[in-house]
Every structure is written in structure tokens, then in C-alpha cells.
Amino acid sequence: QSVLTQPPSVSGAPGQRVTMSCTGSSPNIGASSDVHWYQQFPGKAPKLLIFRNINRPSGVPDRFSASKSGTSASLAITGLQAEDEADYYCQSYDNSLSASVFGGGTKLTVL
């Protein structure tokens, strides 16, 4: 069981907007620890998608955005494309565990 909770799956049609959540608690997201997001395709290494809650690395399309509030964070993808079909993971730091923690991942299906 992951410290950060993500829905196992979300889906949307091409062109639509989808969001996925990442729920933590007071020792991690609630303690103002930053949330980061990663995209992973089958058989590939994860790739940094969003860092420090809202920032996109160079090369990540602005269709990807994220937010954080209280003990939760959210990733949004607008103008959904077939190539966005992947697993998405959130990550933060847990002060009580003194460890980096990940969500269990959300599988995005483009219908």
C-alpha cells in the first residue's frame, strides 16, 4: 500500500481533458513537501513530467499541468492524445519516514 494514493485508472477520449489525483497526508504533501509527477510507458523508464508542484521540464508540452492544495495534488492533461496513454506517478517526501514516497500510479487510457 502506497503512502500517496492515486486512482488506479482514468480514461478519456482524444481531445478531452482528464485529471488524476494524488492524495497524501500531513507528514508529506500536507507538510508542504513538493509534489512531482512522472510519466512511464510500458517497458520504459519513468520520465519527469512536473517538478515542484507546477513546473514543466523543457520539452514537456503545456497540455500537462499540475496543482497542489492541502494534502492533495492533481495532474491535468488537456487536448488528450493517443500518445499520452501511459502510467503516471506522483512523488513527494515524507518527513515522518524520512524517505521519498511514490503513489501507486494511475493508468491513463485514451479511448
Residues found near other proteins in the complex (CB under 8 A):
2, 33-34, 36, 38, 45-48, 51-52, 57, 89, 91, 93, 97-105
Compute the least distance from the CB of residue 14 to other proteins, in Å. 26
Compute the least distance from the CB of residue 30 to other proteins, in Å. 16
Three-class HEC string of 57-72: CCCCCCCEEEEEECCE
The nearer residue to other proteins, 33 or 79, going by C-beta atoms, is 33
What gap in Å lies between CA 26 and CA 21, rounded to an integer? 16
Compute the least distance from the CB of residue 107 to other proteins, in Å. 11
The nearer residue to other proteins, 90 or 110, going by C-beta atoms, is 90
Residue 76 host element (H or E) = strand 72-77
DSSP state, residue 85: -
Asked if residues 46 and 90 have their Cβ atoms less than 8 Å apart, the reply is no
